[in-house]
Chain A
């Protein structure tokens, strides 16, 4: 070893976790509930799939306790595709996360879409070798999750609605919070950290670099190619699409051909987001969109985004 360049060992696990998130940039991660859907997603150019028992629109419509998907289902999906497979665990449910890690899923989403298991604590994600993604509505929430070990942040939006308004609100809020930090005097960063409820070191890092220290993706209500382009313009580095590809409405699946056309169109739109000419062609080839649910009509108690602390 003596003639080898030394390399700070502590950086490598985080680098591997954020490294996989780097590979997903510019791509689309799609929610799937069957191996067949996973294959459609892969064929359409998805960079990863999220293996679920029910998509958020179904969870919203059917109610009940939403938990980690069954290992059998996750394994079926892992066998069906060669791209990374993600899966969700409940907020604070580190035992579910341990199961997902043991199954070998490539990314764990500690998600507000499932029913929270802990009202106070998120998972200590540093304790895992698997990388985690977490939702956030503002910079303070994003930095708290990063402090706990998240290696990717996504906006929460309002999952299962097909209404992009809250994803836009959250992506704009995080960008605005970051810009606000970059103009503060060094002396003011201590109070900023207190107000954000986030560790000073991370606040300082964001103030210095003008960006989150991990990739920043968008999720929650993205349903059309233009929705994907919009959040990319606003700074999201990649896009999660949940119910918008495979659902016709909150109860019924779309025709597979239609789902495939949407999947392909959203993949192309995420790449070519700043070329309106290409977006117009893509949008024309895209068949239908989830009927959706206007997020402004939801009562406070029905919102998923307020879960998490």
Chain B
């Protein structure tokens, strides 16, 4: 249960700002009770309450994470504190990456396939089902990966096309799409709530495991 008395202390949230749409995440998280820090060096991880790994190119992000052992430092951070990855960030958190195999932090028990929907011409904005109150969720997929297998400890919070698109395992939250590019802030608020230690705003009565491909899915191309 969140301790209400702490609600006024700003959360210090880091956004990995090596490459990608880190500015969009910072914008999405900015509020009266958050302090956003751009993280480009290992020392900047100290005293953060949570960390976002943004969208971008996962191969470039991996290369940039090798400086100063930042890769190891982020893995240690993810063992202790909430981390939210979107698209490339989700790939970096995954246990296994296909194809070709690629290094990853392996802190989220999923197998993920890069560029699974094809090239940019296949990118799309879609509406899918989610476990949050307030109805369907807009999902911006850009050269998106696909979660092809999720372990038993992984909660599925949203789906599109029959595949999980937003998942949580303990303190790790990951999306294959880009909530930072939509106006809907429910996922970023959910991540803030994870940091505060609660789990609000899931709709009562939604069985996440039952979210099916047949419900209310549309997409725009």
Contact = CB atoms under 8 A, between A and B. Distances in A.
B20 A26 contact: yes
Given A12-B125, A16-B124, A268 B67 contact: yes
Interface in A27-76: 27, 42-48
B60 A45 contact: yes
B193 to A, nearest CB: 21
A45 B220 contact: no
Contact of A3 (B57, B121, B216): B216
Contacts of B24: 22
A200 B21 CA distance: 29
A187 B160 CA distance: 48
Contact of B19 (A9, A47, A105, A106): A47
Q: Is the interface of B mostly helix, strand, loop or mixed?
A: loop
Interface residues of B, number: 45
A78 B115 CA distance: 13
A131 B120 contact: yes
Contacts of A45: 59-60, 63-64
Interface of A: 1, 3-5, 7, 9, 12-13, 15-16, 19-20, 22-27, 42-48, 78, 82-84, 101, 104-107, 129-131, 264, 267-268, 271-272, 275, 278
B121 A130 contact: yes
Contacts of A3: 135-136, 216
16 contacts: A1-B218, A5-B138, A7-B127, A16-B120, A19-B178, A19-B181, A22-B55, A23-B21, A44-B63, A45-B64, A84-B57, A84-B143, A104-B121, A105-B119, A268-B67, A275-B40
B20 to A, nearest CB: 6
Contacts of B17: 26
A27 B19 contact: yes
B18 A271 contact: yes
Given A23-B88, A129-B221, A83 B20 contact: no
